[in-house]
């Protein structure tokens, strides 16, 4: 198999390495890679929106030939390419040194979404960015991971806000020719085609590849002309509200994904399911074994021993459940190939607490040996939610572990903070050693003025970016001036700035700070200590309640009484997220406990010295130490719960946060505030990184599953671990 190799035919041989570099997202978290493309053409880098594939497609032959004659550029080119080639050598990786030879133990990671870069809009929110950060960190550590997902040609959602504040969903078609993604070709030069026979007529899949450092991500595309028109759209959109279409997506992701790896010759020993969406991958692994002559129960035992399942959803309604009628429709002809009866299959997906359909999470938990939630609190909630699957044991002994999420430090740390300030005060090797707590204690050595001035510069850049977006919106649409004002053109770089940016969903309570507008206005309009709030985020296209919440926020932002100090920035994406987590003064998070599984956006902000004001839920229960931000305990359930939580947040703003921020010494610095900033960095850096997370997955799950696979009687890549031959008897 091969990818498309004839891109950029005008690229001179002397700098032909730019081709591979552009198509490997390594550059997205290595400043020297981005710097090389910027050195090639600063204007081209800007106009391509920091997308090197698009940039190289647009650059003239004359510009590229001039670069070949520029000794300064060539010196940088040679140095960056040497670093890139050294990085891609897996033999010196952490995994190779501490776990096993990567050639013997590939892990297949399946997820419905990946947040990697704004040029690849295959994500809806935190789940996708968690998956993207995980792929990057596995690359950094040399963990032999291969990933599978969907290539959504319509992305997720291009958000536009109408004059009445209503979210208007528009699809922005992925420009495949200008994205860092390649279609996989066969030896004959034609696109490879994989058949998924579960559906009638069969579906044919094409495959695209994204290279994420050392990690390969294969993306499924159903838009082939070989498919019927109604099947071509299966991979069009992320998280469709049509349940039957979602079932079809999950069949294609799970069963089709396994068939793709088989067709590509990827021999893997461990399967990791990121949420329940790809859980049907287990069935296809079993089918392969049954086809080779192994009985279903032995095959199930073998596959189960090498399967890891991560759940991110603490809300019962958030788990996919499909009617038995739909399951019959799509699996009636597939089950005989598994030597599995309809009744046994349905029992695998039955939730005893609510047996009204085939529950994908119940199914994934039954067929996986290693189960985990994504924070300590989420582990407790998940064990309580699913204890009925283990009726004979106490809740605290339910075999669901937890690994708290983390963020990929090189991706989310501000470049100037890392490359200039941290390099100077933490040492030039801080990034390679960033899981060590002792490194982060050196943050206290950073002079207060250095951190304060840096952050103010970041805030100014954020506000400039928001104003630029608002100006573009006005130029394109000739919007009502009130709409432009609501978009942030009147934000003040000197004012204390709160940020609320995440997927709009009712349980995240985006309107909580707007509960008492009279009190909020007093806080915001203080002439000596002004406060402003920046909101951003998208509601799911089919979630009308969340759209109403978004409309409420936007309409408040339009009110002249707030003087432009409340802003809603439309079309929140990875690029705007970078500006937000670097530039706001306080990160606001106020979910309805215990519905926040983890909350990685707060980790990204605190990593950059932005304290968090949050309800005690998700990761903040583990992360808050009394000195690194502010915590709201959360009122008990009741009709006035939101009002009480909002009042507690107003109290913290009025009595602690605002006074501390504006308690400025004669040198113009709030030393008390900088002390809190340093504490946020010191807590987040070593404890909530993707490096710590990936190592925990390896030590807790991957190592055991790999060892179990090597002991399996069914051969490499086909089993391992302890048997659960009594699985059906316990259902």
DSSP string, 95-132: HHHHT--GGG-EEEEE-S-EEEETTEEE--SHHHHHHH
Tokens representing residue 71 in the block: 């000794």
Query: Cis (ω within 30 of 0) for the bond into 246?
Result: no
Q: Is the pLDDT of residue 494 over 60?
A: yes
Task: Please write the tens of the pLDDT for every residue from 383-442.
Answer: 999 999 999 999 999 999 999 999 999 999 999 999 999 999 999 999 999 999 999 999
Q: Is the pLDDT of residue 353 over 80?
A: yes
CA torsion sign, 44 to 48 to 51 to 57?
Answer: negative
The DSSP string of 413-459 is S-HHIIIIIIHHHT-TTTTTTTT-HHHHHGGGGS-HHHHHHHHHHHH
What region, left, alpha or beta, does residue 644 occupy, with left being phi > 0 and alpha being psi -120 to 50 degrees?
Answer: alpha
A 10 A CB-CB count for 316 gives 14
The closest of 42, 52, 57, 45 to 10, measured between CA atoms, is: 57
Q: Is the pLDDT of residue 77 over 60?
A: yes
User: Bridge partners of 205?
Assistant: 194
Higher local confidence (pLDDT), 639 or 314: 314
Summary mean pLDDT of the chain: 92
pLDDT band at 723 (very low <50, low <70, confident <90, very high): very low
pLDDT of residue 157: 67
Cβ neighbours of residue 477 under 8 Å, at least 6 residues apart? none
Could you give the CA distance from residue 34 to residue 38 in angstroms, rounded to a whole number?
Answer: 6
Give yes or no for a contact between 459 and 430, defined as CB atoms under 8 angstroms apart: no
pLDDT of residue 143: 97
Please count the CA atoms within 13 angstroms of the CA of 659 that sit on its side-chain side.
Answer: 6
> Per-residue pLDDT averaged across 188-213, rounded?
92
Q: Is the pLDDT of residue 334 over 70?
A: yes
Q: Is the pLDDT of residue 68 over 60?
A: yes
* CB-based burial, 610-630: b 16+ in 10 Å, e otherwise: bbbbbbebbbbbbbbeeebbb
Could you give the CA distance from residue 274 to residue 312 in angstroms, rounded to a whole number?
Answer: 8
Q: Is the pLDDT of residue 724 over 50?
A: no
Low-confidence winner among 30-34, 674-678, 717-721 (lowest mean pLDDT): 717-721
CA distances from 161 to 217, 257, 629 (A): 33, 36, 32
pTM: 0.94
Task: Please write the tens of the pLDDT for every residue from 638-679.
Answer: 889 999 999 999 999 999 999 999 999 999 999 999 999 999
> Per-residue pLDDT averaged across 273-293, rounded?
96
For the chain, list the domains and their CATH numbers: 2-88 (no CATH), 92-405+693-730 (3.40.50.2000), 409-688 (3.40.50.2000)
Please count the CA atoms within 13 angstroms of the CA of 134 that sit on its side-chain side.
Answer: 33
Task: Please write the tens of the pLDDT for every residue from 505-551.
Answer: 899 999 999 999 999 999 999 999 999 999 999 888 778 898 999 99
Could you give the CA distance from residue 115 to residue 711 in angstroms, rounded to a whole number?
Answer: 36
**Strands 158-161 and 167-170, how do they pair?**
antiparallel
A 10 A CB-CB count for 141 gives 21
Q: Is the pLDDT of residue 475 over 80?
A: no
pLDDT of residue 416: 94
pLDDT band at 170 (very low <50, low <70, confident <90, very high): low
Query: Cis (ω within 30 of 0) for the bond into 594?
Result: yes
pLDDT band at 1 (very low <50, low <70, confident <90, very high): very low
Tokens representing residue 425 in the block: 């005060």
Give me the helix-helix angle, 600-607 and 671-687, nearest 10°.
120
> Per-residue pLDDT averaged across 617-636, rounded?
95
pLDDT band at 197 (very low <50, low <70, confident <90, very high): confident
**Beta strand extents in 597-661 (DSSP E only):** 612-615, 629-632
| Three-state DSSP string of 154-197 | CCCCEEEECCCCCEEEECCCCCHHHCCCEEEECCCCCECCEEEC
Residue written as token pair 């106009």: 47
List phi, psi (to 5°) of 371: -125, 140
Above pLDDT 90, what percent of the chain?
A: 77
Low-confidence winner among 78-92, 219-233, 709-723 (lowest mean pLDDT): 709-723
Q: Is the pLDDT of residue 726 over 60?
A: no
Low-confidence winner among 129-133, 440-444, 706-710 (lowest mean pLDDT): 706-710
Could you give the CA distance from residue 314 to residue 382 in angstroms, rounded to a whole number?
Answer: 6
Give yes or no for a contact between 425 and 451, defined as CB atoms under 8 angstroms apart: no
Low-confidence winner among 146-160, 568-582, 715-729 (lowest mean pLDDT): 715-729
A 10 A CB-CB count for 34 gives 17
Higher local confidence (pLDDT), 632 or 560: 632
Q: Alpha helices of 178-266 — where are they, by DSSP H?
A: 229-232, 243-251, 257-263
List phi, psi (to 5°) of 120: -125, 85
Tokens representing residue 146 in the block: 């291969």
| Three-state DSSP string of 472-484 | HHHHHHCCCHHHH
The closest of 165, 179, 141 to 22, measured between CA atoms, is: 179
Cα–chain center distance at 605: 15
CA distances from 84 to 15, 77, 174 (A): 14, 10, 27
Give yes or no for a contact between 629 and 684, defined as CB atoms under 8 angstroms apart: no
pLDDT band at 376 (very low <50, low <70, confident <90, very high): very high
Indicate the DSSP class of residue 309.
E
| 3-state SS class at 688 | coil
Low-confidence winner among 178-187, 494-503, 690-699, 703-712 (lowest mean pLDDT): 703-712
CA dihedral 88, 90, 91, 95 (to 10 degrees): 150
> Per-residue pLDDT averaged across 697-708, rounded?
94
Task: Please write the tens of the pLDDT for every residue from 136-166.
Answer: 999 999 999 999 999 987 766 678 888 888 8
Size of the chain, expressed as the number of residues it contains: 731
The DSSP string of 500-530 is EES-B-GGG-TTGGGS-HHHHHHHHT-SSS-
């Amino acid at each position: 198999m091969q990818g498309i190799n004839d891109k950029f035919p005008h690229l001179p041989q002397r700098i032909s390495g730019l081709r591979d570099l552009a198509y490997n997202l390594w550059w997205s978290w290595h400043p020297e890679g981005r710097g090389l493309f910027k050195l090639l053409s600063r204007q081209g880098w800007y106009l391509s929106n920091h997308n090197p594939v698009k940039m190289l497609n647009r650059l003239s032959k004359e510009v590229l030939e001039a670069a070949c004659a520029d000794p300064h550029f060539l010196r940088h080119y040679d140095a960056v390419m040497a670093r890139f080639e050294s990085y891609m050598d897996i033999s010196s990786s952490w995994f190779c040194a501490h776990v096993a030879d990567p050639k013997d133990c590939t892990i297949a990671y399946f997820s419905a979404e990946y947040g990697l870069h704004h040029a690849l809009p295959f994500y809806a929110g935190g789940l996708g960015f968690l998956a993207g950060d995980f792929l990057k960190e596995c690359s950094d550590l040399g963990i032999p991971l291969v990933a599978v997902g969907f290539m959504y040609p319509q992305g997720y959602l291009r958000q536009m806000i109408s004059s009445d504040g209503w979210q208007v969903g528009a699809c922005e078609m992925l420009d495949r020719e200008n994205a860092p993604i390649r279609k996989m070709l066969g030896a004959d030069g034609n696109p490879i085609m994989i058949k998924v026979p579960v559906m009638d007529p069969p579906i044919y899949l094409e495959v695209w590849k994204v290279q994420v450092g050392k990690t390969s991500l294969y993306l499924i595309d159903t838009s082939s002309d070989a498919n019927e028109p109604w099947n071509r759209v299966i991979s069009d959109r992320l998280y469709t509200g049509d349940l039957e279409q979602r079932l079809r997506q999950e069949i294609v992701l799970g069963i089709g994904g396994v068939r793709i790896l088989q067709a590509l010759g990827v021999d893997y020993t461990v399967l990791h399911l990121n949420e329940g969406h790809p859980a049907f991958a287990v069935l296809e692994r079993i089918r392969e074994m049954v086809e080779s002559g192994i009985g279903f129960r032995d095959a199930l035992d073998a596959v189960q021993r090498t399967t890891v399942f991560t759940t991110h959803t603490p809300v019962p309604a958030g788990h996919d459940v499909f009617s038995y009628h739909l399951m019959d429709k799509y699996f009636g002809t597939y089950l005989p190939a598994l030597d599995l009866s309809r009744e046994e299959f349905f029992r695998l997906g039955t939730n005893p607490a609510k047996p009204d359909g085939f529950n994908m999470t119940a199914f994934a938990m039954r067929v996986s040996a290693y189960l985990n939630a994504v924070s300590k609190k989420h582990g407790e909630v998940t064990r309580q939610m699913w204890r009925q699957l283990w009726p004979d044991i106490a809740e605290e002994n339910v075999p669901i572990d937890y690994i708290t999420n983390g963020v990929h430090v090189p991706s989310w740390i501000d470049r100037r903070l890392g490359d200039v300030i941290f390099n100077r005060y933490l040492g030039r090797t801080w990034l390679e050693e960033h899981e060590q707590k002792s490194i982060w204690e050196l943050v206290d050595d950073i002079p207060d003025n250095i951190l304060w001035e840096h952050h103010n510069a970041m805030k100014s850049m954020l506000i400039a970016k928001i104003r630029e977006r608002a100006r573009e919106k006005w130029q394109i649409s000739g919007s009502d001036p009130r709409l432009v004002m609501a978009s942030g053109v009147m934000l003040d770089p000197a004012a204390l700035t709160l940020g609320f940016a995440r997927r709009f969903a009712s349980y995240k309570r985006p309107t909580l700070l707007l509960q008492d507008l009279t009190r909020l206005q007093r806080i915001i309009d203080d002439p000596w200590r002004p406060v402003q709030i920046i909101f951003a985020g998208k509601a799911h296209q089919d979630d009308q309640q969340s759209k109403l919440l978004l409309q409420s926020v936007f309409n408040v932002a339009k009110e002249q009484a707030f003087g432009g100090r409340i802003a809603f920035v439309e079309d929140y994406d990875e690029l705007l997220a970078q500006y937000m987590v670097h530039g706001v003064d306080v990160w606001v998070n106020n979910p309805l406990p215990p519905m926040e599984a983890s909350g990685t956006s707060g980790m990204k902000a605190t990593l950059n010295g932005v304290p968090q004001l949050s309800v005690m839920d998700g990761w903040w229960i583990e992360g808050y130490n009394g000195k690194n931000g502010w915590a709201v305990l959360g009122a008990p359930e009741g009709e006035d719960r939101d009002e009480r939580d909002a009042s507690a947040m107003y109290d913290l703003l009025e009595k602690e946060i605002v006074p501390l921020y504006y308690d400025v010494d004669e040198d113009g610095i709030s030393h008390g505030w900088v002390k809190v900033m340093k504490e946020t960095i010191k807590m987040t850096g070593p404890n909530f990184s993707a490096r710590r997370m990936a190592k925990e997955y390896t030590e807790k799950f991957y190592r055991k599953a790999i060892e179990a696979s090597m002991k399996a009687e069914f051969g490499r890549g086909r089993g391992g671990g302890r048997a659960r031959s009594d699985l059906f008897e316990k259902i």
